[in-house]
A and B are shown apart, each in its own frame.
Chain A
């Protein structure tokens, strides 16, 4: 099938690329736009490493065609820090609480946690665990990821997070 132009807003910028309809959103982001922050972990819709935010929903971008996201507002890990490079509360939380080891799952975790905190700014530990249950991490055992998200929730609420990383 001949490529057609697919446009959307990614991290606040209007972008466009000529792709085949079968091009998956993750490939559009990584290969056409050069945004390689979102990772491909499993390619079978299970691991969540490819999670991006599409119109306010956390989506596994390996399981959506780029054409399905035409016209949408997409947020990837590259859009999380401020224009001045200042880390977002979640990024800071992952650094401070050691929420990552190899870092492979981290972009998907942070984008998913971002939507979770938008919907529920003060989640309980169990709400966090259910909220990130579509994101697999093979390194951390999740403990410090949960803390990182709690850290960010506290910071966004103007509070100080007292617990230490394990």
Chain B
């Protein structure tokens, strides 16, 4: 509910009625979705979906719970890719040794999502599948060049995170598809990384946030990718901001150019976090901060 307006007490309700299903395998989950009507929804951690159901912004007639599908759990290395099962929780992301070693930005990001209770149950699959521009993981996945593995009646396909988000809550997934895993190309050893999130308090969605992955060679940036959170209808891939840094040693004029390029593509709504102008400006400020921290962390 990154974009949601203020909640009023009288709007708060008990969720509508639904039938509950608990498949034990991915193929069973896909088959169930195929058989049930189009108002069936998947539930993972439920920490985006249940609040929406209480508000009756979501009224699924069937819930298909992925909690019993063991094959969707955990992170592992597979060749040059990190494969993260959709049902891996934010807490498991924080605790994962594989991720700490190969893509520590995942931990840094998971740590600024919500609060401890939410992180025990909220999953990375739910976070990227939800399609809320307030979710933190999509911008990160764009920066990392990750793809989502979608399992459907016709088999499996992969969609790059950079092509996945169409508009708020609208994604490239087809009805009946399950996001089974996230495949992240292993960032090169010595890469620089940072997730900078401006928020008002614990448990708040970002006023603006930026994810940066870069490599440095001979003191200059050799490659750079930037994703932005909650400053548009979807997470944004900031290719011009990133391109502005390549070949530089991140001198102050470069930082200013990259920040301006990030601000230029931001189109946030005005909300309790600030005016549209302020939030767009903060997209630039977060980009500059994340670039500086990533640059300092990179081996050159």
Give Cα A67 to B22, complex, Å: 10
Q: Give the residue of B65, B117, B121 whose beta carbon is less than 8 angstroms from that of A112.
A: B117
- Does B139 touch A at the CB level, under 8 Å? no
Complex contact B20–A134 (CB within 8 A): no
Identify the stretch in B46-54, B77-85, B240-248, B282-290 within 8 Å (CB) of chain A at 4 or more residues.
B46-54
Q: Are B7 and A63 in contact (CB under 8 A)?
A: no
What mask results when residues 101 to 140 of chain A are scored 1 for a CB within 8 Å of chain B, else 0?
0000000000010001000000000000011111000000
Known contacts A44-B51, A63-B46; is A131 also within 8 Å of B116 by CB?
yes
Judge if A43 is at the interface, Cβ distance under 8 Å.
Answer: yes
Q: Are A1 and B118 in contact (CB under 8 A)?
A: no
Would you call B50 and A43 a contact (CB within 8 A)? no
Tell me whether A20 is interfacial, beta carbon within 8 Å: yes
Q: Known contacts A22-B15, A46-B203, A112-B117; is A67 also within 8 Å of B50 by CB?
A: no
Complex alpha-carbon distance, A53 and B53, angstroms? 23
Interface check B278, CB cutoff 8 A: no
B115 x A48 contact (CB < 8 A): yes
Give the distance in Å from the alpha carbon of A63 to the alpha carbon of B117 in the complex. Answer: 10
A43 to B15, CA, bound (A): 12
Which A residue's beta carbon lies closest to that of B121? A59
Kindly identify which residue among B17, B43, B47, B63 contacts A45, using a CB–CB cutoff of 8 Å.
B47
CB within 8 Å for A133 and B121 given contacts A22-B14, A44-B51, A45-B51: no
Q: Per-residue CB proximity of B67-103 to A under 8 Å, as 1/0?
A: 1000000000000000000000001000000000000
A134:B117 contact, CB within 8 angstroms: yes
- The size of the chain B interface, using a CB distance under 8 A, is 30
Q: Is B19 an interface residue (CB 8 A)?
A: yes
Q: Assess whether A133 is in contact with B20, with CB atoms less than 8 Å apart.
A: no
Q: Can you list 26 A-B contacts (CB < 8 A)? A: A1-B17, A1-B19, A22-B17, A24-B50, A44-B7, A44-B51, A44-B54, A45-B47, A45-B51, A45-B118, A46-B203, A48-B115, A59-B117, A59-B121, A63-B46, A63-B50, A64-B50, A65-B46, A65-B50, A67-B20, A68-B43, A130-B116, A131-B116, A133-B115, A134-B118, A134-B202
- CB pair A21–B116 under 8 Å, yes or no, is no
B236 CB, min distance to chain A CBs, angstroms? 27
Task: With A45-B47, A45-B51 as known contacts, state yes or no: A20 contacts B116, CB within 8 Å.
Answer: no
B18 touches A57 (CB 8 A): no
**B118 x A57 contact (CB < 8 A):** no
- Residues on A with beta carbons closer than 8 Å to the beta carbon of B46: 63-65, 68
Q: Is the CB of B120 within 8 A of A59?
A: yes
**Bound complex: CA A132 to CA B202 (Å):** 10
CA distance A112 to B117 in the complex (A): 8
| CA–CA, A40 and B65, complex, Å | 25
Closest-CB distance, B34 to chain A (whole angstroms): 21
Which of A43, A48, A132 is the one whose CB lies under 8 Å from B12? A43
A48 to B119, CA, bound (A): 13
Task: State in angstroms the CA–CA spacing of A63 and B51 once bound together.
Answer: 7
Interface string of B229-273 (1 = CB under 8 A from A): 000000000000000000000000000000000000000000000
The answer, yes or no, to whether B58 is at the interface (CB within 8 Å) is no
Q: Are A21 and B117 in contact (CB under 8 A)?
A: no
B203: chain A residues within 8 A (beta carbon)? 46, 133-134
Apart from A48-B117, A57-B120, what are 5 other A-B pairs with CB-CB below 8 Å?
A45-B118, A65-B46, A65-B50, A68-B65, A112-B117
